[in-house]
Structure 1
Amino acid sequence: MRLAGLLMTLMVVFAGTATAVDVRVVGGERVSIDDHPWVVYVTDASGNQFCGGTLVSPTKVVTAAHCAAMRTPRNTRVVLGREDRQSSAGVVARLTDIWVHPDYVSADQGSDVAVLTLRDAVGFTSLPLARATDEELYEPGTSGLVLGWGRTSEQGSSSRYLMGATVPVMDDGHCENAYPQFDPDEMTCAGYPEGGVDTCQGDSGGPYVAGGRLIGITSWGEGCAREGKPGVYSEVKRYAEDIEAQLRI
């Protein structure tokens, strides 16, 4: 199976409010949580998964703003260390706080970044953030890994197991041609011109990783793994200072 559907444009319902966003993993294959202990998924209080995230410190998870904007700590959980969503492995963590970037309006307008604060510190390995000095990680052609439990095809079901796929960073010009609203100062896009591999519904907020760092947050796109429609990710180096400020709280 492939990770090409994580950014599929759909109506995702958060707390009864519908928001047009893209989320997914299509064209990938099953991967081990042991190899990626920092990847997590986000659920409602009943355990229904709707987004992904990345553990970046013992008490902080980075996700997309569109995953968190309509949530409260009381009705949101983070699941860590669980590869199979039908298992009881790992930890279900409760939250004390949700920070959404103050400039966020919608995913395709940028600032699609949020930080969830866990009630208790966890012992899982965290993933470093890309910083402003990590320009080389955003060079076109750089191979990055996307991960999630989202749909494995545009109209398919969510994955029971953690899936992963490799997609290259694309040239900003290609991204701007694909999406007029693409902002190269705040976003990066990744995929193949012919499509076939991508993130999809349920993958939003999850990691895009290169060079051992979190370089992107799954944000939006049109459909899943469509030709000429790559996935779009919030550019972590652009928001690293904002995120790090939250890590100090």
Structure 2
Amino acid sequence: MRERKLLLAAVLALAAVAVPVTGAAVAAPGPATAATPTDQLVVDGGSAQVVNGQRTTVREHPFVIAGMRAGGGGPQGQSCTASVVGKRKIITAAHCMIDAAGAKHYLYGDDDLNTAGDESFRTKLASYKTHPKYTGTGGWQTGYDVAVVTTEDDLPVPESQWVKVAGSGDTALTQPGKSGTAVGYGRTSANGGSGVLYKTTLPVNDATNCQVFNIRVNPDLMLCIGYDDGRTGTCTGDSGGPFTVDGVIVGVVSWGSGGCDRYSIMARLTNEMGDWARSEIGGGTPPGDGKFTVAVNPSSGKADPGKYISATVATTSGNQPERVELSASGQPAGVSVRFQPAAINSGESAKVTFDVAASTAKGSYPITVSAKGTSGTKTATYTLTVGDGGSTDGPKPTASPSSATVGRGTSARATITVAGGTGASRLSATGLSFAPMFFPTSVSPGGSSQMSLFAPFQPGTYKVVITATDTAGRTGSTEFVLTVT
């Protein structure tokens, strides 16, 4: 009888029940309690070996973006991680949209969210779509845990740096034995800190060896990556983040052990889920680096106000010629750019002319020349010097618009353009308890920056003074009036 009781106790000790995000962890070697690794995950104990990744940066992974929500448990409300896949498109996990409550927005450009104000850009969520077969709250347990988000504003990531999305034709990328990289802002251990961008390398496993949870790992819809001892992997706050193989996102972080101490499970994209995501993103796979090259010869020149100067845009073809459209950006006020012709075949050349108005301020201006083809976009820089390149005047910033009326706790934006000054001018602002953010923080004469600011919770009218300081130490300022209702 004693032996029968001991056997019954052992069987009960191995049993587990699926729990939502807030469930407690069940440590190895028994079946691990499954949970989504969002900021809502409540962990108790867990392996000291969880994550063991390396610090990384947005510069190294320029498509990575932080998912924030009102009431989020991470720094500044960070809840999930996501990836930029289009001009206003982001891919993440469906449960980041459905299971995690609270108004959501996205933050870009910060490697450590624990220090506010380091980011370069924020945008609200305009809309989102989860996979049509995602079953709602708790649907991550059965699969289809993928969503495509549309943002209110253009994301500050060039097309060449959008991450490519895998589809049903890319199954070779997720064969067992392949390895890839997971990136996210999640915790560094079950009870460790979060909000810092980390990366780790993880192997793709045969799902039949990953049935160590209290719910099934479905190999048709899920990828099992990492290690059964959790020596490195994803954790709280990594939900929705990318798992890339050979530079292609093949899965998004979906769920894992409640203690972050076993395998990590991804929503698999090398199937119809990836095909669906591509169709929602639009245009199929985002453009890559391109197969051709572009250069401007010479790469710099000087023109007096009221004059012009020309150069040659030269391209080389890749495996085969493709049609290339030419454009320019970053030119100062009063400078127009003409291409003759405006579209060429790769391998051909075009003439580019910079017309300088008499009112154009003296200075040196980097102008970006872009060549867009079917295989991607390439850029080259031409440095235009107007006059002698110097200026006796300090910088003169202007704001457009110069005022805004918003609700409490919401955001406002304006374009700050700087004329004159010597060299690049650094932007700063006063007048609010939470300083506005500028992207970029420094601009050359004639350049512009996007200012983002968040309204106080106290109604009233606030005068924000924006100051530009050039390399000679001279300053200029302008005002932006914010009315909070």
Query: What is the TM-score with the length of structure 2 in the denominator?
Result: 0.45
C-alpha distance in structure 1 between counterparts of 2:204 and 2:259, whole Å: 16
Q: Give the equivalent residue in structure 2 for 1:207.
A: 242
Q: Which residue of 1 aligns with 2:106?
A: 78
How far off is 1:177 after superposition?
A: 5.1
Distance 1:102 1:121 in 2: 26
- 8 Å CA contact 1:10, 1:201 repeated in 2: no
Equivalence for 1:35 = 60
The amino acid across from 2:242 in the alignment is P
* Aligned residue type for 1:27: N
- Corresponding residue of 1:223: 258
Counterpart selection for 1:11 from 8, 16, 22: 22
Distance 1:77 1:83 in 2: 17
Contact 2:105 2:123 in 1 (8 A): yes
Per-residue deviation at 1:208? 0.5
Q: How far is the alpha carbon of 1:45 from its aligned partner? A: 4.5
Matches for 1:161-240 after TM superposition, within 5 Å: 161-176=196-211, 178=213, 180-226=215-261, 229-238=262-271, 239-240=273-274
Q: Deviations over 1:17-61 (max 9, x none)?
A: xxx832177110101210101011111147400111111111111
What one-letter code is carried by the residue in structure 2 that aligns with 1:40?
Answer: I
Per-residue displacement from partner, 1:194-228 (whole Å, max 9, x unpaired)? 321010011101011111100110001113452xx
- Equivalent residue number for residue 313 of structure 2: none
Partner of 1:244: 278
Please tell me whether residue 121 in structure 1 is matched to residue 154 in structure 2.
yes
- The alpha-carbon deviation at position 157 of structure 1 amounts to 2.6
Higher relative contact order (CA 8 A, sep 6+): 1
1:141-200 Cα offsets, whole Å, 9 max, x none, are 211111111111112232x42111111101121123556511111001100243210100
Tell me if 1:110 matches 2:110.
no
Contact 2:51 2:230 survives alignment (8 Å): no
Q: Which residue pairs with 1:130 in the alignment?
A: 166
The runs of at least 4 consecutive aligned structure 1 residues that moved more than 6 Å come to: none
**Counterpart amino acid of residue 191 in structure 1:** G
Task: Report the aligned-residue RMSD.
Answer: 2.3
SS in 2 for 1:137: helix
Moved more, 97-106 or 39-48: 39-48
Unaligned stretches of 5+ residues in structure 1: 1-8, 13-19
How many residues are paired up? Answer: 230
CA distance in 1: counterparts of 2:213 and 2:79, whole angstroms: 26
Shift of 1:70: 5.1
Does the Cα contact within 8 Å between 1:96 and 1:118 map onto a contact in 2? yes
Measure the CA separation in 1 of the matches of 2:221 and 2:258.
Answer: 21
CA–CA separation in structure 2 for the residues paired with 1:116 and 1:170: 29
Whole-Å Cα distance in 2 between the matches of residues 66 and 21 of structure 1? 11
- Name whichever of 200-209 and 36-45 sits farther off: 36-45
Tell me the amino acid that sits aligned with residue 41 of structure 1. A
Residue 280 of structure 2 aligns to a residue whose secondary structure is: helix
Q: Is the 8 A contact 2:35 2:258 kept in 1?
A: no
Shift, 1:119, TM fit: 1.1
Partner SS for 2:210: helix
Report percent identity of matched pairs: 31
CA contact (8 A) 1:196 1:225 kept: no
Counterpart in the other structure of 2:79: 50
Q: Is the 8 A contact 2:213 2:257 kept in 1?
A: no
Structure 1 position 101 matched with structure 2 position 131: yes
Corresponding residue SS for 1:183: coil
Give distance in 1, aligned partners of 2:35 and 2:228: 21
Map of 1:17 onto structure 2: none
